[in-house]
A = this chain, B = another copy of it.
Amino acid sequence: MSTIRVTVWNEFRHEKEKDAVKSIYPDGMHEAIAAYLRQQPGLAVRTATLDEPEHGLTEEVLAETDVLTWWGHAAHAEVQDEIVDRVQARILDGMGLIVLHSGHFSKIFKHMMGTSCALKWREVAEKERLWVVNPVHPITQGLGPYIELPHTEMYGEPFDIPTPDKVIFISWFAGGEVFRSGATWTRGKGKIFYFRPGHETFPIFHNPEILKVIENAVRWAAFAGSAAVDMSVAKVEPLEDLPTQD
């Protein structure tokens, strides 16, 4: 199996602006995720952030990216439409996309889903338990029946997403809600995974089980289909003899 090239994208603003976040992620959430992934076999990892030129997502970077992970929150609107279109085109051409937490409201996720991606929320540091509801899926490899997070922001249903190909995790929250916290879709030749945990004020991306899920998702999302099937529009000739028109 060849190396999977991962680009870990982060808005990277909260970590610079809020001490509470900086203390948990001094180098940014992207570095917490990337540091973990770099230790895993078969992965080549780089990072990119909003304030880099072209948000760090040049044509060259995307061409060399097999799987892109995305965390954004306060600055979704600052992501340029041109870059969003570029990312979408690359996904349709086979790049995997892993959307984390508040990335549900990113332009790229909403573009891929076609829905509002709205949800209910509150931030009172309540307990969350992510139940594995699809233990045959490779994203669950190495997990037990659930992941427990002592303190999280809450996301509640209804979550305005298209019918997922597969629901992998359903969360229970102490305050009384549930949420489809892990779900997959395919779009074009690209695989997409949404994963709910990751609020910036909690050390979610230091949790070994959360990191394992991200690693599993990266391996799952890397393209492994038919490179020779062209999905672009084209005029084609008949493959069979056709009767002469009257």
- Residues of A whose CB lies within 8 Å of any CB of B are 1, 88, 92, 94, 105, 111-116, 118-122, 124-126, 129, 131-138, 140-145, 151, 154, 156-160, 162-163, 165-167, 170-178, 180, 185-191, 223-226, 228-240, 242-243, 245
**What is the CA–CA distance of A1 and B224 in the complex, to the nearest angstrom?**
16
User: Closest CB-CB distance, A88 to chain B, in whole Å?
Assistant: 8
On whether the beta carbons of B239 and A177 are closer than 8 Å, the reply is yes
Choice from B167, B232, B233 contacting A167 with Cβ under 8 Å: B167
Residues of B within 8 A of A167 (CB): 167
Residues of B within 8 A of A125 (CB): 245
**What is the CA–CA distance of A115 and B136 in the complex, to the nearest angstrom?**
13
Choice from B133, B143, B159, B239 contacting A159 with Cβ under 8 Å: B133
User: Closest CB-CB distance, A197 to chain B, in whole Å?
Assistant: 15
**What is the CA–CA distance of A134 and B225 in the complex, to the nearest angstrom?**
8
**What is the CA–CA distance of A125 and B191 in the complex, to the nearest angstrom?**
36
On whether the beta carbons of A145 and B92 are closer than 8 Å, the reply is no
Residues of B within 8 A of A129 (CB): 176, 178, 239
**What 4 pairs across the A-B complex have the smallest Cβ distances?**
A176-B239, A175-B238, A135-B229, A140-B226
On whether the beta carbons of A145 and B230 are closer than 8 Å, the reply is yes
Choice from B92, B145, B176 contacting A115 with Cβ under 8 Å: B92
Residues of B within 8 A of A114 (CB): 88, 111-114, 187
